[in-house]
Structure formats: C-alpha cells, structure tokens
Amino acid sequence: MSAPQTNLEKQKRRHIVPLLGMALVVLFGVGLIIYWQFEEAAQGDSPGLEQPSDPGAAPNTATPPAQP
C-alpha cells in the first residue's frame, strides 16, 4: 500500500531541520567522547617512562602501621 499523497519536495523541506539536528547531536557526542579520551590520556600516569633511581633496590612493600 502506498501513501495517498507523495510530495517529495514538501517532505524534504519538512525533514531537513530534524535531520540536521540529529546530525549535530551525533557530532557533538562524538566530539565529547574524543575530548574525554584525550583528557584522560593527558592526565594519566605513564609507568613506562619512569626509570627507577636504583635498579637493584627492592620495591617499597612495607605496610603502614595499623591505626588505633
């Protein structure tokens, strides 16, 4: 069954604004995710770049004293 009145030009005019709005929301969301990932990477620790001052030293495994 087909639509009773199909005016493609009128439908294009009616749908362009909602489609552009949805595209802008998607681009904004993707931009936020990319920004978030770059911020996390910039603030994260870089364990591979740190060099120990004394390679033969044992790691600090001492536990702090228990609090009363």
| pTM, two decimal places | 0.55
pLDDT of residue 50: 58
**Span 14-61, pLDDT tens digits:** 999 999 999 999 999 999 999 999 999 888 876 665 555 666 666 666
Q: How far apart are CA 60 and CA 57, in angstroms?
A: 9
pLDDT of residue 6: 82
The full set of domain ranges for the chain reads: 10-41
Q: How far apart are CA 28 and CA 19, in angstroms?
A: 14
- More reliable by pLDDT, 46 or 6: 6
Q: What is the DSSP string of 7-66?
A: -HHHHHHHHHHHHHHHHHHHHHHHHHHHHHHHHHHHHS--TTT---S-TTSPP--PPPPP
